[in-house]
Amino acid sequence: MENLEKAIPGKTAIVAVIGLGYVGLPVACTLAQTGFKVLGIERDQTKAARISKGISPISDQEPGLAELLTEALSSGRLQVGTDHEQCGQADVILIAVETPVDPDSRAPTYEALRGALTSLGPHLKPGALVIVESTIAPGTMQDVVRPVLEESSSLKAGQDFHLAFCPERVMPGKLLANLRECNRVIGGATPEAAELARELYRHFVRADLDITDTLTAELVKATENTYRDVQIAFANEIALLCENVGADVHQVRDLVNKSPLRAMHVPGAGVGGHCIPKDPWLLLHGTQGQLQAKLIPTARSINDGMPLHVAQLAEESLMTEGVAMEGAKVTVLGYAYLENTSDARNSPTIPLVERLRSMGATVTIHDPHFQEYDLDLEEAVSGRDCVILMVAHNEYRALDLADLRAWVSTPVLIDGRNVWGKTRTEDLGFIYAGVGNR
């Protein structure tokens, strides 16, 4: 077990990264750049084949990742494959697979996590360090990761191998920068495991590496994303109240935030991505027991309701022009969940479009970051009754509103991201409704 104490600081340890997605690929490339030999293991064969040819699935939105991947592959320090048997060579194994929740029960499915652990187990080297980076419910290291790994490897955690949890705090669009610059929490199943993990991250993290136990680290990660979800829900509720009394939530927010210790979030047309919509459910799954939490599920429901509220704003604004939603031609700008990316996981545009279609509208989706929605913008909005902005992509921020006014048939504009502003658009003759400002 003492081998790693030298191999990690000396960079002679071989590191395997299981799961080469938004988290795993940047980590694998960064470790290779740092000087480690890295084995990237990805179960999606097409993805693995493309990555091993130097084609990153997310390089279009991640500054520097394409170059880093090319460098890691050409230096020979990164090898990519689909076979978990390669983990037999690894001294350190990072697990960065997806951890979604079931859409009905909201419980984590852990299909990918269990798969990664059972595939790793038979090849796990005695003395190795296993670090879970995926976000998991509190208690999962103890109740799922440890028993599954012990059973599939016939080794004992803390005795035959080291086990730690070190969640990621990265954001798509800033993955590489966040990896290096964000403070990290490291939960060790033992203090030795935490120390070894800290030695590894010390090679590339220029921020605090805080050590604790696995349960505390699990709580920290799930809580920080839940905090964000609840804060956004609060801002969204204030937006709805402002709409009710004819006030502008953005002006209210700006002035609220001039008060000491206030940092109200930005309201908007919904919350998406792989993490924020599911991490509150992970937190509750691991902690609720007999207690029925109230605030966190309510916040989820407020945020999930925002795209439907946008559909309602569109319907009411169309009505003022004498146009019914049934048969209306509507264009939705933005399919991604995040501006200037092509990540559509849990995008609020998806339930919005479903709702508009169920109301009888003919809907066109436009998004320059998706091949299937990368239509000519003029064509996508010409002759439409309503244009709804769901994502603040740079292309939409730069749009000439006078052109837009000339292209549409009925000038109804719904701004889900406070990009265009009421006064500016109304001066051009639009009927404008924004979230929290109509």
Residues assigned a catalytic role: 221, 275
In contact, 342 and 60? CB cutoff 8 Å: yes
Under 8 Å between Cβ of 164 and 129: yes
What distance in Å separates the CA atoms of residue 118 and residue 99, rounded to the nearest whole number?
16
Residue nearest to ligand NAD (CB): 21
Name residues contacting ligand NAD, limited to 150-179 (CB under 6 A). 168, 170-172
Contact flag: residue 274 with ligand NAD (CB under 6 A): yes
The site string for ligand NAD over 119-148 (x = CB under 6 A, - otherwise) reads x--------------xx-------------
22 binds ligand NAD (CB under 6 A): yes
Residue from 27, 97, 193, 276 binding ligand NAD (CB under 6 A) = 97
* 41 lies in the site for ligand NAD, by CB under 6 A: yes
User: Rounded to whole angstroms, how far apart are CA atoms 25 and 55?
Assistant: 11
DSSP readout, 164-213?
EE------TTSHHHHHHHS-EEEEESSHHHHHHHHHHHHTT--S-EEEEE
DSSP 8-state assignment for residue 384: -
What the block records as the tokens of 370 is 């998706």
Please report the sign of the dihedral spanned by the C-alpha atoms of residue 404, residue 405, residue 410, residue 411. Answer: positive
If one counts every other C-beta atom within 10 angstroms of the C-beta of residue 326, the result is 9
User: Which residues share a beta bridge with 332?
Assistant: 365, 388
Other C-beta atoms lying within 10 Å of the C-beta of residue 151: 12
Binding range to ligand NAD, per CB under 6 A, among 42-50, 227-235, 301-309, 318-326: 42-50
**Least CB distance to ligand NAD at residue 160 (A):** 22
The span of 14-22, 196-204, 241-249, 332-340 binding ligand NAD (CB under 6 A) equals 14-22
DSSP state of 23: T
C-alpha 75/C-alpha 357 separation (Å) is 51
* 93 is a site residue for ligand NAD (CB under 6 A): no
Neighbouring-strand partners of residue 220 = none
Per CB under 6 A, the segment of 8-16, 40-48, 243-251, 254-262 that binds ligand NAD is 40-48
**Residue whose CB is less far from ligand NAD, 182 or 419:** 182
**Residue whose CB is less far from ligand NAD, 23 or 333:** 23
Nearest Cα residue to 23 out of 139, 128, 174: 174
Among 33, 56, 61, 99, which residue sits at the site for ligand NAD (rule: CB under 6 A)?
Answer: 99
Q: Compare residues 203 and 228 and give the one whose CB is closer to ligand NAD.
A: 228
User: Is 229 a binder of ligand NAD (CB under 6 A)?
Assistant: no
Identity of the residue, 22 or 335, whose beta carbon is nearer to ligand NAD in the bound complex:
22
- Least distance CB 170 / ligand NAD (angstroms): 5
Interface segment toward ligand NAD; rule CB under 6 A; list 12-20, 153-161, 190-198, 226-234: 12-20
Query: Which parts of 80-125 fold into alpha helices (H)?
Result: 111-120
By CB under 6 A, name the binding residues for ligand NAD.
Answer: 18-24, 41-44, 47, 96-99, 112, 115-116, 119, 134-135, 168, 170-172, 274-275
